[in-house]
Amino acid sequence: MESMVLPLELLQQFKSSDFPDQQEYMHWQTRNLKVLDAGLLRHPYLPLDKSDAASQRLRQILREASETPIETRKNSEAMQVLRNAAMSLAYRSFNGFGSDTCHWADGFPLNLYLYQMLLEACFNNSSEEASIIDEIDEVLELIKKTWVFLGLNEMFHNLCFAWILFHRFVTTGQVDIDLLIAADKQLTEVAKDAKATQDPTYSKFLKSILSSIMSWTEKRLLAYHDMFSSNNIESMQIIVSLGVTGAKIPVEDISNEYRRHRRKEETDVAHSRIDAYIRSSLRTAFAQQFISSVTELTPDVVQVLRAADKLEKQLVNIAVEDSVDSDDGGKSLIREMPPYEAESAIANLVWIPTATKESCAPSSVEVLRIIDETLDAYFRLPIPMHPALFPDLLIGLDQNLRHYASKAKAGCGRFHQFMCWIVNSTTNHSSFSGSRNNFMPALPALTRCEVGSKLWKKKDKSQNLTKRRSQVGSTKGDGSLGLSHLCVRINSLYHIRKELENLEKKIKTCLRNTETAQADVLNGMRTSFELSLAACQEGILQLCETIAYKVVFHDLSHILWDTLYAGEPAASRIHPFLKELDPTLEMVSSTVHNRVRYRVITALMKASFDGFLLVLLAGGPSRGFSRQDSHIIEDDFKSLKDLYLADGDGLPEELVEKAAREVNNVLPLFRTDTESLIERFKRMVVETNGTAAISKYPLPPNPGHWSPTEPNTVLHVLCHRNDDAATKFLKRTYNLPKKL
């Protein structure tokens, strides 16, 4: 037996004449081929390589056999090809040499699969309804005799049989209620077994089957008004029982997970599941039925909505009164009555440039359409006193639109979320604050640039690159924070702000045209969406800043922070950074509306200038500059500015120079000789702290900006000055290491 693949031998030994009819023979042949598929391909003794020729050949044969029966005569070419492919897979071994034993039925998953195939014999396949055979008890007794060979027991039998019964009911048109009743009864036995075992293999198998059953069951029960009618209502009771029984199993424990979190006496599974089914189905059937059919805000609709609001409040009061004596005073009950799930709807909004002609989100167009139609419907109402009632409507619309604007920028982060990875693990002596609202990263601790062996520098640089790259996410897989998505959010807010101006003009016109309008009332009436306009403006500014600092300090961090001037400045200049930044500017220019495009590019410019200074003054010990390097730095910064000037087609020159003022003020320090820098630093410290500081120069405070008139800036330049004079001064004054 160890040297043969039994399904192959059976296929070759038995002929169609050995069966009552051709159809029965075909079913038998298919079952044997499925066993080969399970034993050699799906659950093999040794893992299969995707490029394995024998496995690919066997898959092809089995696919063809599902359409055309295989000729199984001994000398048949098809049978020989099948045998060769199957035997080459069965005789594989771990050492790569041939084995004396066939491995075609190894592993517990295959045993379960074989057992499920045996259980299929309990059904009459020739019948259209595939009903249970009359000899079910005798057949089951025979099948149970295989337990000892397959390593199974009654628990696995109950679980497999429950699945087979349920699967048969679902796949045969859901008409044989007896199958569903039998499956429910069998699942009750499974619930008992689950409490009595902690076998991990059984638990894994149980979770898989239970997940499929519960998914099918709850799909019907959570909206049972849509799923059941007079034709199938008799199955509803059984499906409810199936759902409740299945829900009990995890609570009453297959892994003790729930026992750790809830006391059993606090969990009434049957009550909670049926309550959930009723609530969900009622909500689906009735809660939105009326609203979905409303196309206009008429007086009748207003009356119905007012009545519904009144009824809801009364029901809430009744619920609270009935539960006031409970342990939590009814809080848990109130939490079970949530409003419409706006958060999940907002999470599914589309933020892609091609969604609309204006490159804004379809939801922004839709929300404006709803507001416009609401205003139209309001002014068509045959009721007096429009001006008196209108402020309440406007407040409601303004608040809802502000909520949309807030959500459009929510979750996009702030600068520090894209820059916090820069912070060195050592304790920093100070951090930026103030004008940049803590958006700039905290500075690394003051330390010395590397002076010494180039081999040491190369080794340390590679380690830092690996560490930092592991902390920075992919530049492309940002999901809702992708650059194009953020640009569409900006366009959406700008589109809303622009359209609100038209809505305000429309409101004024409609109010003047009302019959009861009075000039003195209209003159003092609010007609603008003040909250929404402010939210849109704030959102656009925040999104511009988010895009800028995300691009510079996150997407391009592998170039800016990991490589710019690291090691030898002449060999690691700014050109790779410019090359990567240029397509970003092109994408922004082609996506963002022209009225707000300059804001995004200006924010990108400021962020890149900040990043450039941060590399020069707080780039860590891998960066050291000599006086001769100052020409490289100045040329690189000029190239960075030229990128934004774009030969006159970019930002205005005065705007670029204004943003570059801080960098331009600091760059001369890199041309200054070390002795002059040291004297300047000493003089600044004494002027700040008095003559008492001459004996011991204290660390200067961080003013929150870089400036040649600040001792903190000069000290950072000295820390990155690559010469002996700076090394001796820093070692003597602050005990900084001569080299790392």
Query: For residues 221 and 274, what is the distance between their CA atoms, to the nearest angstrom?
Result: 9
Instruction: Specify if 721 maps to a domain.
Output: no
Instruction: Specify if 301 maps to a domain.
Output: yes
Query: For residues 565 and 573, what is the distance between their CA atoms, to the nearest angstrom?
Result: 6
Handedness of CA 426, 430, 435, 437 (dihedral sign): positive
pLDDT bin (cut points 50, 70, 90) of residue 608 is: very high
Query: Tens digits of per-residue pLDDT, 48-77?
Result: 887 788 888 889 988 888 888 888 877 788
How many separate domains does the chain show?
A: 1
pLDDT bin (cut points 50, 70, 90) of residue 427 is: very low
Between 675 and 472, name the one with better pLDDT: 675
pLDDT bin (cut points 50, 70, 90) of residue 626 is: very high
Between 222 and 641, name the one with better pLDDT: 641
Output the six-digit token pair for 166: 């349920």
Q: Is the pLDDT of residue 483 over 70?
A: yes
pTM: 0.53
The angle, 0 to 180 degrees and rounded to 10, between the axes of the packed helices 6-13 and 22-36 is 160
With residues binned 3-state (H G I as helix, E B as strand, rest as coil), the percentages for the chain, rounded to 5, are 70, 0, 30
Q: Is the pLDDT of residue 181 over 60?
A: yes
pLDDT at 671 (0 to 100): 96
Q: Which amino acid appears at position 182 of this protein?
A: A
On average, the pLDDT of the chain sits at 79
pLDDT at 605 (0 to 100): 96
Instruction: Specify if 332 maps to a domain.
Output: yes
- In 3D, which of 486, 712, 450, 474 has the Cα closest to residue 592? 486
Query: For residues 24 and 16, what is the distance between their CA atoms, to the nearest angstrom?
Result: 9
pLDDT bin (cut points 50, 70, 90) of residue 696 is: confident
pLDDT at 230 (0 to 100): 78
On whether the CB atoms of residues 658 and 639 are closer than 8 A, the answer is no
How far from chain centre, in Å, is Cα 302? 40
pLDDT at 254 (0 to 100): 41
SS (H, E, C) 356-405: CCCCCCHHHHHHHHHHHHHHHHHHCCCCCCHHHHHHHHHHHHHHHHHHHH
Q: How many CA within 13 A on the CB side of residue 509?
A: 8
570 CB-near residues (< 8 Å, 6+ apart)? 629, 632
Q: Is the pLDDT of residue 628 over 90?
A: yes
pLDDT at 699 (0 to 100): 87
Instruction: Specify if 310 maps to a domain.
Output: yes
Instruction: Specify if 54 maps to a domain.
Output: no
Q: Which amino acid appears at position 206 of this protein?
A: L
| Phi and psi at residue 448, to the nearest 5° | -95, 145
Least confident of 75-79, 257-261, 602-606, 695-699: 257-261
Q: How many CA within 13 A on the CB side of residue 500?
A: 25
Between 426 and 271, name the one with better pLDDT: 271
pLDDT at 609 (0 to 100): 96
Q: Is the pLDDT of residue 120 over 80?
A: yes
Residues in the chain: 740
Instruction: Specify if 463 maps to a domain.
Output: no
pLDDT at 252 (0 to 100): 44
Instruction: Specify if 325 maps to a domain.
Output: yes
Percent residues over pLDDT 90 in the chain: 30
Least confident of 138-142, 342-346, 656-660: 342-346
Query: Tens digits of per-residue pLDDT, 511-531?
Result: 877 755 555 445 556 678 899
Query: Tens digits of per-residue pLDDT, 44-55?
Result: 878 888 778 888
Q: Is the pLDDT of residue 347 over 70?
A: no
Residues 534-547 have a mean pLDDT of: 93
Residues 425-440 have a mean pLDDT of: 34
pLDDT at 464 (0 to 100): 47
Least confident of 406-420, 449-463, 677-691: 449-463
Query: Tens digits of per-residue pLDDT, 282-336?
Result: 666 555 555 666 665 566 666 666 666 676 667 667 666 666 666 666 666 556 6
On whether the CB atoms of residues 62 and 54 are closer than 8 A, the answer is no
Q: Which residue segment(s) compose the domain that 298 sits in?
A: 288-338
Between 176 and 616, name the one with better pLDDT: 616
Residue 565 backbone zone (phi > 0: left; psi -120 to 50: alpha; other: beta): left
- Nearest 10 degrees: CA dihedral of 315, 316, 317, 320? 120
pLDDT bin (cut points 50, 70, 90) of residue 459 is: very low
pLDDT at 299 (0 to 100): 62
Instruction: Specify if 217 maps to a domain.
Output: no
Q: Is the pLDDT of residue 346 over 80?
A: no
